[in-house]
């Protein structure tokens, strides 16, 4: 299959000196026995192995333990709105800006992107393989009433999928429980369901690359600009929630968007393929 066609944005970031000043601010604060922050994030950053790769680098440099709560983007945002955590790192830009506008978070930063892909069985009963228009492919799946597994969990991937269905005449929600199956699960579990029932599904590319149970499944549709998948990060508001560890949380954000953090993201590979493309501005 073709590699993703999106052009990488320029990876600009805070100067390392700014980050070091932030570290100095942290070190002058009262010491904690085990300094840590809680990051509310999406399942794809965890399931792809990105955090397992990135976090030890940050932790070694700062001594700050990063504890990740990996759920769908919608749930991560709801958790953050409850003040559960210090940093929000998700992938549904409209919801992220709404979160900021409502006063739940501080300034949002672009971090990285990749893309979504439509995967399905090699025998491709709906005949969508190689199509360049993802909504036309999804329309064909609906017309054929071929099985489609939806996460159905208000995640960033689910939001993207529903947005794409809205651009077709199909009404998949009305077919829920027939050809359209909502798993209410994360991406890995939904991929397992799709493989077991021979169903199409929408996945983020990184989770797919790291998925071990592909069977006869393949990427069938990719490259449509509408499949672009942007990730953003922001500090949960310390004004609204005084318990938020703003210095340590901001230090983590500053590192992610710094030249060093952006390079680490760019260097992460899955099966030899770059999984995420840094684009902090």
The domain of 198 spans: 116-227
pLDDT over threshold 70, residue 39: yes
Longest dimension (CA), the chain: 64
Render 40-77 in DSSP notation, one character per residue.
EEEHHHHHTSHHHHHHHHHHHHH--EEEEEEE-HHHHH
Closest CA to 197 of 91, 256, 99, 120: 120
User: Do 203 and 157 touch, CB atoms closer than 8 A?
Assistant: yes
Residues 213 and 142 occupy one common structural domain: yes
Residues 63 and 100 occupy one common structural domain: yes
Look up the CATH number of the domain holding residue 190: 3.40.190.10
Q: Is residue 207 part of a domain?
A: yes
Encode pLDDT of 166-220 as tens digits: 999 999 999 999 999 999 999 999 999 999 999 999 999 999 999 999 999 999 9
Residues 160 and 84 occupy one common structural domain: no
Phi, psi of 166 (to 5 degrees): -65, -20
The per-residue b/e assignment along 250-262, b for 16 or more CB within 10 angstroms, e otherwise, is bbbbbbbbbbebb
Q: Above pLDDT 70, what percent of the chain? A: 88
Residues 73 and 131 occupy one common structural domain: no
Residues 37 and 167 occupy one common structural domain: no
Distance CA 144, CA 96 (A): 36
Residues 94 and 120 occupy one common structural domain: no
Encode pLDDT of 107-125 as tens digits: 999 999 999 999 999 999 9
Residues 209 and 121 occupy one common structural domain: yes
Residues 124 and 223 occupy one common structural domain: yes
Phi, psi of 227 (to 5 degrees): -90, 5
| Statement: the pTM of the whole predicted model exceeds 0.95 | no
Residues 220 and 123 occupy one common structural domain: yes
Q: Is residue 250 part of a domain?
A: yes
Domain count, the chain: 2
Residues 108 and 242 occupy one common structural domain: yes
**Contact partners, residue 189, CB within 8 Å, separation at least 6:** 183
Encode pLDDT of 213-263 as tens digits: 999 999 999 999 999 999 999 999 999 999 999 999 999 999 999 999 999
User: Do 109 and 234 touch, CB atoms closer than 8 A?
Assistant: yes
The per-residue b/e assignment along 182-207, b for 16 or more CB within 10 angstroms, e otherwise, is bbebbbbbbbbbbbeebbbbbbbbbb
Encode pLDDT of 8-34 as tens digits: 333 333 333 344 334 434 443 444 567
């Amino acid at each position: 299959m073709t590699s993703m066609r999106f052009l990488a944005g320029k990876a600009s970031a805070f100067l390392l000196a700014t980050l070091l000043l932030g570290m100095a601010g942290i070190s002058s604060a009262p010491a904690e026995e085990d300094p840590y922050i809680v990051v509310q994030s999406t399942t794809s950053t965890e399931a792809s192995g990105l955090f397992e790769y990135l976090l030890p680098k940050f932790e070694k440099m700062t001594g700050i333990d990063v504890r990740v709560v990996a759920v769908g983007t919608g749930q991560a945002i709801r958790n953050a709105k409850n003040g559960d955590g210090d940093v929000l790192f998700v992938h549904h830009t409209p919801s992220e800006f709404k979160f900021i506008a409502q006063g739940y978070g501080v300034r949002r930063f672009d971090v990285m992107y990749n893309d979504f892909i439509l995967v399905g069985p090699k025998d491709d009963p709906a005949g969508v393989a190689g199509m360049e228009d993802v909504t036309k492919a999804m329309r064909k799946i609906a017309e054929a009433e071929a099985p489609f597994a939806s996460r159905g969990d208000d995640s960033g991937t689910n939001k993207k999928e529903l947005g794409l269905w809205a651009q077709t005449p199909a009404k998949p929600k009305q077919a829920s429980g027939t050809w359209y199956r909502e798993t209410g699960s994360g991406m890995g579990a939904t991929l397992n369901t799709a493989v077991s029932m021979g169903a199409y599904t929408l996945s983020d590319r990184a989770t797919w690359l790291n998925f071990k149970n592909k069977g006869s499944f393949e990427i069938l549709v990719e490259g449509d600009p509408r499949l672009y998948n942007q990730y953003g990060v922001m500090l949960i508001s310390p004004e609204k929630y005084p318990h938020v560890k703003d210095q340590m949380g901001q230090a983590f954000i500053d590192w992610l968007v710094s030249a060093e953090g952006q390079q680490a993201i760019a260097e992460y590979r899955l099966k030899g393929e770059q999984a995420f493309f840094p684009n902090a501005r």
